[in-house]
Structure 1
Amino acid sequence: MTVTIDFDAPTDQVKSPAILAHVVLRTAKFKEMVDFYKTFLGASAAYENDFLSFLTYDEEHHRIALLAVPGTGPKVPTSSGLEHIAFAYEKLEDLALAYRQRKAKGILPAWSVNHGPTTSIYYKDPDGNMIETQVDNFDVPDDATKFMMSKEFEENPFGTDFEPEDLIRRLRAGEDEKSIKKRIESGPRGIPDL
């Protein structure tokens, strides 16, 4: 096998990865976190012991790993670090169905918002980490980028809150998904206090 890549060629940009493979969360609440993520994602353990769990819900061998490390303290909400993890659904109906299924299991949203580029429902795990579940509001990524360059997004990059039950009511009534996904402009908005 002959290598055809010039590893020493100058470049302005590093080669991007193909995908984001997984996220590992360190926790002091190991069992509670494992149970939560199995339920939240409809996941199963590809491997698990008393301090490590590799969870999968799709073709990847693991998407979330949980690690119990002695001496781990509680999350400090005001410290630097990961703000949230986002999981995407293909259709608005799927996002609403997952919301309703989680609600039936006692997992309630912390925030529901139409950002413009996405319609999103956020949750908190037992450690207080934020999890976004979302659906794209535009069929083409360039259209989402154009929206993010708009005056409306500039004055409100966070979005407009909505009630998930209202979203389900609108879907059941047969309203077009595109009209449900269209963000209602509410004017300037600061950083939400979640």
Structure 2
Amino acid sequence: MADTSVLRPTSLAHVVFRTRNLPKMLEFWGSFLGAEVVFKSDFIAFLKYDDEHHRIAIIQEQDAPVRPANSVGLHHLAFSYPTMRRLLQAYQKRQTLDIEPTWCVNHGPTTSIYYSDPDGNSIETQVDNFNTIDEANDFMMSEKFRTNPIGTDVDPDDLLRQLDAGADEAALKMRVEIGARTSVPQGV
């Protein structure tokens, strides 16, 4: 039997947004990611926040229709942090920039803080809750995850207080089980 699978890419290189308001989106994404502008013209901009030449591109299209809320398409982008403390420090920094989360949740495999950009695109910031991919996969195959694949809401300020008081990060990453949950909050 012939191998019909495609060759897998090595990574996700970048994401491109279409907007009616390039300056506003550029300001948001630059602040949100601590990104620098690599190139900017009247109709397109490229940003980077790591060693890639660009991770975010934003195209100005003044006549582009506004996407209806809850429409079919990409739901969100996710950005990872190496520790819960770093995730929560980023959350605090964003608050000083008046960027507030729309939802905070322990999904089980990750603890996540969601945001929306000026055009309503949903963004997840997360930390992995397990030390290995195999442990995360095992959890995702468990009855706990089958019962609640959405997660349990969390308070990032409370998590940070607990960390500052000496709580073990691994213990804080353990999801509190609340039973069945089958939908995400509206607007996330």
Q: Same fold (TM over 0.5)?
A: yes
What pairs with 1:129-148 in structure 2 (closer than 5 Å)?
129-148=121-140
* Residue number in structure 2 paired with 1:108: 100
Partner of residue 38, structure 1: 30
What is the alpha-carbon distance in structure 2 between the residues aligned to residue 75 and residue 106 of structure 1?
A: 24
Aligned counterparts of 1:161 and 1:115: Cα–Cα separation in 2: 8
- For 1:166, which of 133, 158, 161 is the aligned residue? 158
Give the whole-Å Cα distance in 1 for the aligned partners of 2:42 and 2:32. 20
Partner amino acid for 1:58? D
Measure how far apart 1:83 and its partner are.
Answer: 0.2
Per-residue CA deviation, residues 18-75 of structure 1 (Å, 9 max, x unaligned), is: 0000000101121110000000000011111111110000000110110011311222
Q: Does 1:63 align with 2:55?
A: yes
- Alignment coverage as a number of residue pairs: 186
For residue 176 of structure 2, the aligned residue among 159, 176, 184 is: 184
Length-normalised TM-score, structure 1: 0.93
The alpha carbon displacement at 1:190 in A equals 2.1
Q: Residue 76 of structure 1: CA displacement?
A: 1.1
Structure 2 CA distance for aligned equivalents of residues 54 and 174 of structure 1: 40
RMSD of the alignment, in Å?
Answer: 1.1
What runs of 5+ residues in structure 1 fail to find an aligned partner?
A: 1-8
Q: Which residue of 87, 95, 104 corresponds with 2:87?
A: 95
Larger Rg: 1
Identity of aligned residues (%): 49
Match of 2:145 among 141, 147, 153: 153
Runs of 4+ in 1 over 2 A off after TM superposition: none
TM-score by length of 2: 0.96
SS at match of 1:86: strand
Could you say what secondary structure the match of 1:101 adopts? helix
Q: Deviation at 1:80?
A: 1.0
Inter-partner Cα distance in structure 2 for 1:170 and 1:34? 35
Select the residue among 57, 73, 81 that pairs with 2:73: 81
